Amino acid sequence: MTLRAHVVVARGTLNLDVWLDAAAGEVVALLGPNGAGKSTILRCLAGLLGIDRGSIEILGSIVDDPSAGTFVPAEQRSAGVMFQQYLLFPHMSVLENVAFGLRARGVDKATAHKEAQHWLRRVGSEEVERSRPSALSGGQAQRVALARALASEPKMLLLDEPLAALDAATKVEVRRELRRHLTEFKGSAVLVTHDPIDAYTLADRVVIIEQGHVVQSGTFTEIAAHPRSAYVGELVGVNLLTGSVMGGVFAVDGGGTLVVAADDIDGSAIAVIRPQAVSLHARRPEGSPRNTWVGVVVDVDFQADRARVRLEGPIQLTSEITAGSAATLGIKVGLEIWASVKATEITVTLN
């Protein structure tokens, strides 16, 4: 593990107590509602805030351990941070912003600027190097902030809501680029988000934080299949299918197609289907649903008055029905059953 942390912090009404680790090259998403303490964890990892108890270890060396009196300040942690509001320096050009980390470490101006230009090229922003941050669009500012964080070659990357400040159209493109940079990044990365799609598309592993505590962690698919609480179910218990969309038909990676309402977009995409929108039937359903198929029940999870039914077949997804209808349908593992989803219940976003 390149990152191993036990973060215990009390701030106001927030009591944070979280175990967290990340391997080299791994991207971990901290997912949770606003005020859950996600950003505070990031600040502790970055060295901007000391922990009350616990310890933080990066690449085998302890950087924060109150019981031993160890605290390595932010400037010596080599953690590249991308802030939610980017916090570019307004009085410097884009190039100077990106070169800042190297200059601060004593690299001479010519070398630092050359290196900064290299990073600006990598994020595709070399044409704005002379601009002031105030002249940049949201997407450009995000790319520059990423280049600035990466240019000082950090051991660890910390991203606080990296896409939250962007409009929907820009978000798709920037998210795709960010994923590429995260894949290329050799160290471990921790990403804070409240958007399940960000967590699904960018992270290898998801840690769900609620009121300062980890409520569940694992891959997104694992968590979505077995949410440990109704809240987690709400948050990530959606069916996310990767594939491509064209002419109102969504082709799922790994087989299967769905008719969707979005017929104006083409390309690589993610289909989002709420489990409640997947209905189960003993016989082939008649009427409006355009998407019907026969699946096999592989798992049933009862939660109070509801049942989450995991289906395999042409399309793998989870259905949530009332416990009553589960009993009526005689749901059990191995049962073959008809499933249907209305085209209008499928949300498609480009990926």
Partner 1 sequence: MAVLAIAFFALPLAGLMSRAPWSDAGTILRSPNVRQALRLSIVCSLCSTALSVVFGLPLAWLLARRRFIGSSVVRALCTLSMVLPPVVGGVALLYALGRRGLVGQWLDRWFDLQLPFTSAGVVVAQTFVAMPFFVVTVEAALRQTEGGQDEAARTLGASSWYSFRRVTLPAIRSALIAGAVLSWARAFGEFGATITFAGSFPGTTQTLPLAVYRALDVDPREAIVLALLMVAVSFAVLVALRDRWLGGGERAR
Positions in the binding site for partner 1 (CB under 8 A): 46-48, 73-81, 83, 85, 87, 89-92, 100-101, 103-105, 148-149, 152
Closest distance between partner 1 and the C-beta of residue 226, in Å?
36
Question: Can you give the length of the chain in residues?
Answer: 351
- For residue 344 the two structure tokens come to 């209008």
Q: How many CB atoms lie within 10 A of CB 239?
A: 22
Name which of 87 and 214 has its Cβ closer to partner 1: 87
Name which of 95 and 224 has its Cβ closer to partner 1: 95
Strand duo 257-259 + 61-65: pairing:
unpaired
Crossing angle of helices 109-122/138-151, nearest 10°?
130
- For residue 262 the two structure tokens come to 């979005």
- For residue 42 the two structure tokens come to 């990031």
Alpha-carbon radius of gyration of the chain: 23
Side chain identity at residue 337, one-letter code: I
Name which of 51 and 273 has its Cβ closer to partner 1: 51
Closest distance between partner 1 and the C-beta of residue 338, in Å?
54
Closest distance between partner 1 and the C-beta of residue 150, in Å?
11
Name which of 27 and 151 has its Cβ closer to partner 1: 151
Name which of 154 and 295 has its Cβ closer to partner 1: 154
Tell me the DSSP string of 264-284. Answer: S--EEEEEEE-GGG-EEESS-
Cα 228 from Cα 157, distance rounded (Å): 29
Run of H or E including 285: none
Strand partners, 242: 270
DSSP state of 127: G
Name which of 81 and 277 has its Cβ closer to partner 1: 81
Q: How many CB atoms lie within 10 A of CB 172?
A: 20
Name which of 61 and 85 has its Cβ closer to partner 1: 85
Closest distance between partner 1 and the C-beta of residue 72, in Å?
12
Cβ atoms of residues 80 and 158 within 8 Å: yes
